[in-house]
Structures are given as C-alpha cells and as structure tokens.
Amino acid sequence: MHRKQVKSSGLSQSVGSWERSFERDRASATLRVTVREVVADPVLVVAEKMRNLPRDVLDGLKASAKDLVESSDRREEFLQLQRILQTRNDLSSDALHKSHRTQVEILVAVKTGNPAFLLQDNQLKLLVEVLLHSRCRNVQCLSQLPVDNCECKICTQKNGFCNACMCVVCSKFDTAHSTCSWVGCDYCIHWCHTDCGLRKMYIKPGTTPGTSEMQFHCIACGHTSELFGFVKEVFASCAKSWNRGVLVKELDCARRMFQGSEDLRGRQLCRRAGQMIAKLESNNLDVAEACNAMLRFFEADFPDSKNVSLLEDDEHATAGAARIDPNTVLERATLALQTYDRVLEEKRTDAAEMQYERARKKAEIEELESIVRIKQAEAKMFQARADEASREAEGLQRIVLAKCVKVEQEYVGKKSKLQLLEAEEKRKRKFEDLQFLEKGSSNFDIVRKLMGDLQDLLGNMEAAKQLQAEEVSGIEAYLERYLQSR
C-alpha cells in the first residue's frame, strides 16, 4: 500500500513537470520573432512584439541575423531579404524612432551586409540615419551625408555614398590606407580603387595634346590628377614600413597603373617595378634594398638616374665579401663589365626612347599647329555665317514688325465692326422689347374697359334683383290682403 502511494506521487510529479515544460515552450513560441518577420512585417507590429521578449531571446535573434549575413550557405535567403527590404516604403524616420533598437540593428545589418552593427551598442538615432542613407554605413567612418555638403553628381545621385571612405565607381570601402590601391582626385578629394579605375578606363594617359602622362580622370568633378607624383609620395612616406608581401603588392599595383603609359618616366616606372617584383619573389633582393632602390629611382632626374640606381643595385648585390683575392677581383671585374654592358644597352634603349619621344612630341606639335590653323579657319567661317545670320535676323525682325502692325490694324478694324454689329443687335432687342411693352399697354386698356362694363352689368343685375324682390313683396302683400278680405 505504501509503495502504491509513492508510485502515484511520482507519476503526478512527472505529469506536473511535463505540463510546466509544455506551458513554458508554448509561451516561448508565442514570444518568438524571426529575422524574416523583422525584415518583412510592419515596423510598429514587430516593435510591439520585441518589447515583450527577454534579453536572451533578443541575443539569439541577433546571432541568427549575424549567421544569415555571414553564412555563404544562406546567401540566397540573405539576398531575398535584401530585395524585400529595398521594396518597403513604410520605413519612415518617425516609425523607426518608435521601434526597438535590436529591430533596427537587424534591418541595418541586412541592408548593408555588415554584421558589425549587431556587435556594437550604437544609438537608435545613428542606426536610423544609416538605414535612411543620411549617414555613412562604414562603422569606422559614420560621417553625416553628404560629406561637407558636397553637390557633385556622385554624392547627389548615389544614395548612401560617402566620399570620405568609398570608391566613386563601386561604392565599396575597406580598411586600406597609405597604399597605391586607392587613387584620389586632387580637386574634389574623392577616391577610387585602382582596380576599378583601370577596369573602367578612368586611369589612362592624358587626352589633351602634349599631355601623355598617366592621369586619374575623376568622374565626380571631371578634373584630372597626375599619378606619378602620387605613387612617389606613397613610396616616400610608407615604403620603409612595408614587409615583403606588402611591398610586392604595392609594386604590382604601380606596375599595372603605369602599364599603358606613353611617357618615358611612366614606362621606366612600370619596368622598374617589374624588375623589383621579380627579384623580391626570387629572394635575390632584400626588402630594405628594394625600398631604397625605388626611393632613389623616384628622387633621380630622368633618364640618367636610372643607370646610376642600376649600378648601385649591382654594388649591393656584390658587397659583403670578407676578403679580396684574385678570383674575387676577376669575378667583380666580370660582374662590373656585365653591369656596364647592361647599362650601355639600357642607355641605348633610353636614347632610342628619347628620340622616339622627341619625334612623337614634334608630330604632336605639328598636329596641334594644324589643328590651330583649322580652328582659325573654322572660326572665320563661323564668324561669316554669324554675320549673315545676324543680317537675316534683322530682316526677319523688320518683316515681323510690319506683320505685327498689319495684324494690329486688322484687329482694330474687326473689333470696331464687331462692336457695331453688337450695337445693332442690342438696338433690335430694345425695339422688340418696346413693341412688346406697347402691345401689353393696349391690352391693359381693353381689359380695364371690359372690367368697367362688367361692373355696370353687375350693377344692373343688382338693381333688377332688387326690383324683382320688391315685386315679389308687393304680390305677397296683395295676396295677404286678398285672403284677409275673404
């Protein structure tokens, strides 16, 4: 009997535990909100749900949103939510300021594709401004947009574009600085990825006659900026702090930047960067020596300095011997002879390039002079046409003036005739009204006469009726007397 009571008590406890677990799961299910609901459902409805959620549920929701943004397996779902977010038109500033902060953090993370907004405690106002494109979406920038109230076509036409940290071509940003992988405009201080500029042909030789150096053609303001001095400044300021991998990357960037150069120093820089990359990748050159060689290259006067730097590189390559013997002297002499042969060959190449450059410049000057002569002839022709057009315009003006006078006269005549016709029509209407009134007056006199006759007739009828009454009274009196006499 005792064991039965214990068994029954344990069964009731397990049933109660199961009921409490069921109630807890049902309550948590009613309080659950998904990332899709945050993105797709009305703002205030989701905000009301999220205000009742405990902290651990909100943290789990943010973790789910972070996994959605970062996971490559859920890429299609993420892009679908981005498309839904782009089509919404109820994301107003007032509604978002009344929403839950975690809700806005998820919306910003999905829209920008940056999970960093889920990991920082940003103010609700800042998150709303990022979502509505009035503040930069780069968490390391967060500048108010447009930066410095810029009115260029890029800042005014691209929603959410920040000229302080984004590329004018792809509108993306990164953490790179002190590098040749970004090029900037000297006029409007807008920036562009070097790869984007090369792909879109915004980095190219100058288009004006006499300007063949590589330039960055800014699409924001239309100005051009030379690139040789920019690369020189980057190397002078930062090259000594680079490791081997960074140096190779920057040299490759400079090489690709000047690969299509038409001027002498641009081609020399491209060739020089290629030589340094080959030596660094084969470990035949130290990083410090490569940096010094590039700095000497930039500091030298063209074209002779290149030969000097080559000799210095060869001296670095052969330095460090502990003692000198005849074999070493012979090796050094052979190496020096090879170096001088190479230098001589490069001098010949440079001389040929200079001769080609002078011939090209001469051809450009002749072409420019020919263009000037053509433009002068065109200017004279256009001036003659302008004079002829001016005379034709004066003649047309006189014709127009005469036609205006004629039209004015015709207008005055037609207006007078129209006024006369209107006056005649008005006179006819007044005459008809007068006739109608006269006819009405004569009818009134007839009616008045008939009324008088009618009154006379009524008077006669009244007198006849009175006479008849008197006759009846006389007859009655006569009959009464007659009856009395009988």
State pLDDT tens for residues 76-107.
Answer: 988 999 898 888 888 888 888 888 888 899 99
Q: How confident is the model at residue 181 (pLDDT cuts 50, 70, 90)?
A: very high
pLDDT score recorded for residue 346: 67
Boundary-marking domain end, from 259, 283, 300:
300
When mean pLDDT is compared across 34-38, 349-353, 396-400, 433-437, the lowest value belongs to 349-353
**Which is it for the CA torsion 466, 467, 469, 470, positive or negative?**
positive
Residues 176 and 237 both lie in one domain: yes
Residues 293 and 183 both lie in one domain: yes
Domain range for 36: 31-132
More reliable by pLDDT, 460 or 26: 460
Within-domain flag for 416: no
Residues 282 and 172 both lie in one domain: yes
pLDDT score recorded for residue 308: 39
When mean pLDDT is compared across 265-279, 301-315, 462-476, the lowest value belongs to 301-315
Within-domain flag for 73: yes
Residues 291 and 206 both lie in one domain: yes
Within-domain flag for 147: no
Within-domain flag for 377: no
Within-domain flag for 345: no
Residues 106 and 209 both lie in one domain: no
Boundary-marking domain end, from 300, 320, 336:
300
Instruction: Please tell me which of 4-18, 45-59, 243-257, 294-308 the model is most confident about, judged by mean pLDDT.
Output: 243-257
Q: How confident is the model at residue 169 (pLDDT cuts 50, 70, 90)?
A: very high
Rounded-to-integer distance, Cα 379 and Cα 255, Å: 44
Residues 171 and 294 both lie in one domain: yes
Residues 190 and 284 both lie in one domain: yes
| Phi, psi dihedrals of residue 184, rounded to the nearest 5° | -125, 160
Question: What average pLDDT does range 365-391 have in this prediction?
Answer: 87
Which region holds residue 222: left if phi is over 0, alpha if psi is between -120 and 50, else beta?
left
Boundary-marking domain end, from 266, 283, 300:
300
Rounded-to-integer distance, Cα 83 and Cα 109, Å: 14
What is the residue-averaged pLDDT of the chain?
A: 81
Residues 171 and 290 both lie in one domain: yes
State yes or no: pLDDT of 31 exceeds 60. Answer: no
Rounded-to-integer distance, Cα 427 and Cα 433, Å: 10
Residue 69's alpha-carbon distances to 106, 117, 133, 438, in angstroms, are 10, 11, 20, 100
User: How many C-beta atoms surround the C-beta of residue 237 within 10 A?
Assistant: 10
Within-domain flag for 432: no
- Per cent of the chain over pLDDT 70 is 84
Question: What average pLDDT does range 170-199 have in this prediction?
Answer: 90
Residues 185 and 288 both lie in one domain: yes
More reliable by pLDDT, 320 or 424: 424
Residues 171 and 256 both lie in one domain: yes
Residues 289 and 182 both lie in one domain: yes
pLDDT score recorded for residue 342: 66
pLDDT score recorded for residue 437: 78
Residues 115 and 215 both lie in one domain: no
Number of domains, the chain: 2
Within-domain flag for 271: yes
pLDDT score recorded for residue 339: 65
What confidence tens digit (pLDDT) does each residue in 39-54 have?
Answer: 888 888 888 888 888 8
Q: How confident is the model at residue 446 (pLDDT cuts 50, 70, 90)?
A: confident
Within-domain flag for 104: yes
